[in-house]
Amino acid sequence: MQEGAGARPRHSHHFARRAALDLLYQADVTGVRPPEALEGAVELGIDVPGFARDLVTGVGGHLQELDRLIDDHAEDWSIERMAVVDRNVLRLACYELLYRPDVPPNAAIAEAVEAAKELSTEGSGRFVNGILGRIARERTQA
């Protein structure tokens, strides 16, 4: 997406999140753990930003917990039935919500919704927003 007049400037974390999402997607569809997908990219000489590396490693280290959390908050959906992009967008955003206090929750959610709208199905933005909204509200009430 190009930046034009009136377009919102992109933060470096935006591009790092997209790189992380690419790696998480690759790991999911090939059946490897996220850190293995990251290692493979690095071995191929792909420049993976540090923030993206942190996200992929973090999601990989908490994958089961993140999947349970998403499953618990996805009304009438199981993690296995979700579109691959949606599932990984949610994993990434949930990791940021739970384990990255340096990332404002609204930024993590907004980036996830934008990614879902751009990369997945027509209703994915609303779907992702609904799940992340429930998780974020629960976290602020705790």
Contact 107, 99 (CB under 8 A): no
Kindly state whether residue 1 falls inside one of the protein's structural domains: no
pLDDT at 5: 44
Contact 97, 108 (CB under 8 A): yes
Contacts of 35 by beta carbon, 8 Å cutoff, 6+ apart: 56, 57, 60, 61
| Domain coverage including residue 130 | 12-24+32-141
- How far is the C-alpha of 115 from the C-alpha of 129, rounded, in Å? 11
Which residue is listed with tokens 């994958």? 63
pLDDT at 33: 97
CA angle 124, 36, 110 (to 5 degrees): 25
* Closest by Cα among 25, 31, 36, 137 to 82: 25
Going from the C-alpha of 80 to that of each of 40, 77, 109, 130, the distances in angstroms are 25, 8, 21, 18
Q: Which of helix, strand or coil describes residue 110?
A: helix
- How far is the C-alpha of 11 from the C-alpha of 105, rounded, in Å? 15
**CATH code of the domain in which 109 resides:** 1.10.940.10
pLDDT at 1: 36
pLDDT at 141: 76
Kindly state whether residue 4 falls inside one of the protein's structural domains: no
Number of domains in the chain: 1
Kindly state the DSSP code that residue 103 receives in the 8-state scheme.
S
pLDDT at 2: 40
Kindly state whether residue 3 falls inside one of the protein's structural domains: no
pLDDT at 140: 80
Structure tokens at 75: 């009304």
pLDDT at 53: 98
pLDDT at 133: 96
Kindly state whether residue 98 falls inside one of the protein's structural domains: yes
pLDDT at 3: 43
Kindly state whether residue 90 falls inside one of the protein's structural domains: yes
Q: List per-residue pLDDT tens for the chain, 142 residues long.
A: 344 444 455 678 999 999 999 999 999 999 999 999 999 999 999 999 999 999 999 999 999 999 999 999 998 899 999 999 999 999 999 999 999 999 999 999 999 999 999 999 999 999 999 999 999 998 887 6
What's the pTM value of the predicted model, to 2 decimals? 0.90
